[in-house]
Structure formats: structure tokens, C-alpha cells
Amino acid sequence: MGSDEFVTMILTDACFIIEYVLLRLDKDGWHSKLWSMRKIRTDLILLENQLPFFVRKDLFDLTFPNGYNDKFSFEFVTFRYFYSTFISRIVPNERLRGRFTFSYFVQHHLPTLPDGTPQVHHLCDMLRIFHVRLDQLPREHSGRDMKLIYTISKLHDAGIKFELNEDEIGLLKLQYSKGVMKIPRIVVSDSTEAQLRNLMAFDKCHFPSPRSMTDYIVYLEHLIRTGKDVEKLEEKGVIENFIG
């Protein structure tokens, strides 16, 4: 591919995605194209489809020097898109969802460089940032192998109780105390596997240690092995199943 052809492709792709996320601020424009939007949103987070975040941001800032409608930054526009598209899966508790404002996101989730510039690689990374609070980043691994974690069914038979953790924002806040394990609600739909696979792939590319999302997913993989494990978590309201 020649240089001019490559630049044209990047420019067209970036402008399309800017227009796409702006539609989320325009409810009429969004709902008139709702079905096509649903088909696009999974493609948007595939790791192989990513453009650097700064490419879209620079084009956006050139087009809207004072922000969209003279007030909305590209970070805010992107936040609103991800909030409206994924927040029900990231924060299933509606009572807590109202606290997940842009200010909360900037303060508790958005990493920044020393000069205050948001440190976002691309849109797949933005989805990871939504899931991971800055104060929930794991410690560095000790280098020792992970010990065997028993399944939900075996732990239940051994007397461990499982409860829904409704007091925390985000998926990663698993808590264990005095024989009770509290797990935030996990919403599972037809798009969940694609989302988790791409977040794991991004983790492995950019965060060899620690890997927040990968560690969480591997932990769940140890806990949930059979349909019986799923049923027990569904009974407790931990898993909300929308597959199919």
C-alpha cells in the first residue's frame, strides 16, 4: 500500500469513528440507525481494528478547537459512547451506576502522563480503563505459580458461601471474608466473549505484569468449570445470563 493510500485509509477510518461516537450524543441520529450501530460496536473494540487514540483526538481537536458544540472534549464524547454502550455490563447495579460520571471516571479510572495528558492507547484500551480502577491495580506478581483454585461447586460443598457484591462499582472487586466470597454481578451476553478475548489480548500486548483483566478472567475460569457452577452463581444473582 502506498503512503498516500495508507493516509487516506487512516483519515477515513478516524473520521467515520468520530462521527459514530458523536451520534451517541444525538439520540435521534442514534435511534434511527440503531441496528447498524449494534453490528459496529463489537468491531470497534477488536484489537486488530485499533487506531491510536491520539490520531482520532488530534483530528477531533482540529475540527472542534473549542470542543463539540463548544463544550465537549474528545475524551468526554468517547466516555459517553462507552458509558451508553457498555455501562450496564461494567456497573450492573443501577443504584451505583449514577455515580459513574465523567468526573468520577477521570478521577478514579483514567490514567494520565506526568503533564496531565490522558494515557489512552486506543478504544479497546478505553474499554479496559472503564473496567479497572486506578486503586484496584494488582501488585506485581511474585513469580510463583498460581495455586489451584477449586470450583464454585467444590467450594460450596466445603462450606464456602457466595453472595452478590452490590456495594462496589466495577467487576474486579472480589472479596473474601469469614467463609463468604462476594462477587460483583457478571452480565453475560452474545458479545461478552469477544469483549473479554480482546481485553485479554490487549493485556498481554501492553501489560505483561500485572494484568488486571487477564488475572480476573483466569480466576473466574478456575471458579466456573461446569453448568452446576453457573447455576449456583445464577441463583445468587452473580451471573445474569442474556445469551441468545
Does the residue 145 lie in any domain?
no
Does the residue 214 lie in any domain?
yes
Q: Are residues 123 and 181 in the same domain?
A: no
Does the residue 142 lie in any domain?
no
d(CA 51, CA 12): 11
Does the residue 30 lie in any domain?
yes
Are 239 and 188 in contact by the 8 Å Cβ rule? The answer is: yes
Domain count for the chain:
2
Alpha helix (H) residue ranges in the chain: 3-22, 27-32, 34-44, 53-63, 74-90, 94-97, 102-108, 123-131, 152-157, 192-206, 212-223, 227-235
Q: Are residues 26 and 122 in the same domain?
A: yes
Q: Are residues 25 and 83 in the same domain?
A: yes
Q: Are residues 112 and 156 in the same domain?
A: no
Q: Are residues 171 and 93 in the same domain?
A: no
Q: Are residues 124 and 161 in the same domain?
A: no
Does the residue 143 lie in any domain?
no
Give me the tens of pLDDT residue by residue for the chain, a chain 244 residues long. 899 999 999 999 999 999 988 887 776 555 555 666 677 888 899 999 899 999 999 999 999 999 999 999 999 999 999 998 888 888 878 888 888 999 999 999 999 988 888 899 999 999 999 988 887 665 555 555 666 689 999 999 999 999 998 877 777 888 889 999 999 888 888 888 888 899 888 888 877 556 678 888 888 888 999 999 999 999 999 998 888 7
pTM of the model: 0.84
Q: Are residues 90 and 124 in the same domain?
A: yes
- Host domain of residue 236: 152-241
Q: Are residues 156 and 198 in the same domain?
A: yes
Can you name the residues that pair with 15 across neighbouring β-strands? none
Q: Are residues 43 and 109 in the same domain?
A: yes
Of the candidates 163, 191, 186, the residue with the CA atom closest to the CA atom of residue 39: 191
